[in-house]
Structure 1
């Protein structure tokens, strides 16, 4: 049990609802019994998390933060999967009231891509012959229809990604440099990224750590420090100030981050960073 400095906002992932984060919420109440905790939900939860664009979800997220008086002096955020780039979107685009700390689990920070060399989760490899059509949809109509299109980043079609992406390419300063984004990243007291080697949903698993496929490949990886985003987003500053922490779990799959069985490890190794 510890005293809390800030309220805590929880944001669930894609095809989830706030109900999926109930064990995380209970664990945080146990650790920080005096903390106000907002377990956020966008729209109707499961379906809107997939069928609303990320920009529309972000607008609702921001309005809920702004209209909650208990958050007016700032808050810390625990954000899972797709929720990680919603929370970071709030930080970079809105941040009033300010986000003080950002803790992300299995976040899609560097993008997502599957279906060619790596099978898509729960689908298999049948998509491989159709990847050009899938890319065409994701970089076309999909940008206005599905949240996943907002973070779809083919290592084979990076120019098309930069030209058409309505969310992640902007958020990661890949098209033009937004200095406000850099300053707001640098304003964090702490940015904690947690990834799981056995993650069975996000591709690649270590996009959660800002690593990603090398251009033109799904077999070679670029680490965060070797990627342009490291300096273009201000992550290098946080790293130099020892305010950027990467944590790797060797046992979890994607769902262990919000299921009951994962909470003990999360309380010991992750949730401790939400407060001073």
Structure 2
């Protein structure tokens, strides 16, 4: 499974042969979700370990924002996605092992951040985007703040419910940037500082379309028993019908698709969109399923 690469190099005028170990597998970038970190052994650390076992020698980058795991978790709540994507883009551009491209796996909110990365940071090239429980049309509800203390969690909920589109809240809270109020679509599209932009809901950014369409595959995994994401259809790029918060519509019936304002309609016609569903709660999957449906199909 491992290829031995013998590379001739010139060092200070002296010819030399250096033997390095390289993998036949495309590198992988992982981006964790809200309340998680790059490397916790019970979450992404375990995923990275299993991927390394299944794909020997593979180069894996697990996004870490900050100088510690604590900072990484905190930045998932308080560092604006624009800044996160900007920093990750720099890291990936400076990684020579990604020069030929990479596959990306997003967990929860890390999924829409990776999509933003694909649209804004075309080099190095993202080949396949795997979205696990991502909220591509945003959320209208925040039932669980994960690792934050109960009072802080309650404070975040109150801010989002009553003041998500205030400019200082948009700057302070990551989750406000993909808060999507179906009862006031005009305010959402005008004041959402992240999601409305990457979904081309204010102006049509043709570069976003071109970069997204350059993906080989965009795989969206929805967890049918999800109690974290409201509505769960956002994991398949669906959402509530405008003007109410009860009836949902699938991606193919939405304005984003019908008007092809993000290029998804063309991607669907080209066979690049893949909709996968699981019966469990948010991010609940076993490795046997993951290996058969994700690793074998898109990463091996």
Please confirm whether the aligned pair reaches a TM-score higher than 0.5, indicating the same fold: yes
The aligned residue for residue 228 of structure 1 is 255
Question: 4+ residue runs of structure 1 moved beyond 6 angstroms?
Answer: none
Instruction: Judge conservation of contact 2:133–2:283 (CA < 8 Å) in 1.
Output: no
- What CA distance in whole angstroms lies between the structure 2 residues aligned with 1:31 and 1:174? 40
| Equivalent residue for 2:59, pick from 5, 25, 36 | 36
- What CA distance in whole angstroms lies between the structure 1 residues aligned with 2:233 and 2:27? 28
Residue 239 (structure 1) shift: 1.1
The aligned residue for residue 14 of structure 1 is 34
| Equivalent residue for 1:91, pick from 95, 101, 118 | 118
Residue 199 (structure 1) shift: 1.2
| Equivalent residue for 1:243, pick from 272, 275, 295 | 272
- Structure 2: 5+ residue stretches without partners: 3-22
Residue 135 (structure 1) shift: 4.6
What do you get for the CA RMSD once the two structures are aligned?
2.1
Residue 6 (structure 1) shift: 1.3
| Equivalent residue for 1:104, pick from 131, 154, 165 | 131
- What CA distance in whole angstroms lies between the structure 2 residues aligned with 1:204 and 1:213? 7
The aligned residue for residue 193 of structure 2 is 166
- Structure 1: 5+ residue stretches without partners: none
SS in 2 for 1:256: coil
The aligned residue for residue 65 of structure 1 is 92
The aligned residue for residue 138 of structure 1 is 164
**TM-score normalised to the size of structure 1?**
0.88
SS in 2 for 1:199: coil
Residue 30 (structure 1) shift: 2.3
Is residue 2:212 matched to residue 1:185?
yes
- Structure 1 residues 58-92: Cα deviation after superposition (integer angstroms, max 9, x where no partner): 11111111111111221110111110111111110
Instruction: Judge conservation of contact 1:7–1:71 (CA < 8 Å) in 2.
Output: yes
Instruction: Judge conservation of contact 1:196–1:206 (CA < 8 Å) in 2.
Output: no
Give the structure with the higher percent strand: 2
SS in 1 for 2:72: coil
The aligned residue for residue 253 of structure 1 is 281
Residue 34 (structure 1) shift: 2.8
Residue 179 (structure 1) shift: 0.7
**TM-score normalised to the size of structure 2?**
0.81
Residue 136 (structure 1) shift: 4.7
- What CA distance in whole angstroms lies between the structure 2 residues aligned with 1:91 and 1:134? 27
Structure showing greater relative contact order (alpha-carbon pairs closer than 8 Å, 6 or more residues apart): 1
- What CA distance in whole angstroms lies between the structure 2 residues aligned with 1:81 and 1:134? 18
Residue 214 (structure 1) shift: 0.8
- What CA distance in whole angstroms lies between the structure 2 residues aligned with 1:83 and 1:181? 18
Residues matched between the structures, number = 261
Residue 137 (structure 1) shift: 2.1
The aligned residue for residue 299 of structure 2 is 275
Residue 202 (structure 1) shift: 1.3
Instruction: Judge conservation of contact 2:107–2:131 (CA < 8 Å) in 1.
Output: yes
- What CA distance in whole angstroms lies between the structure 2 residues aligned with 1:5 and 1:236? 30
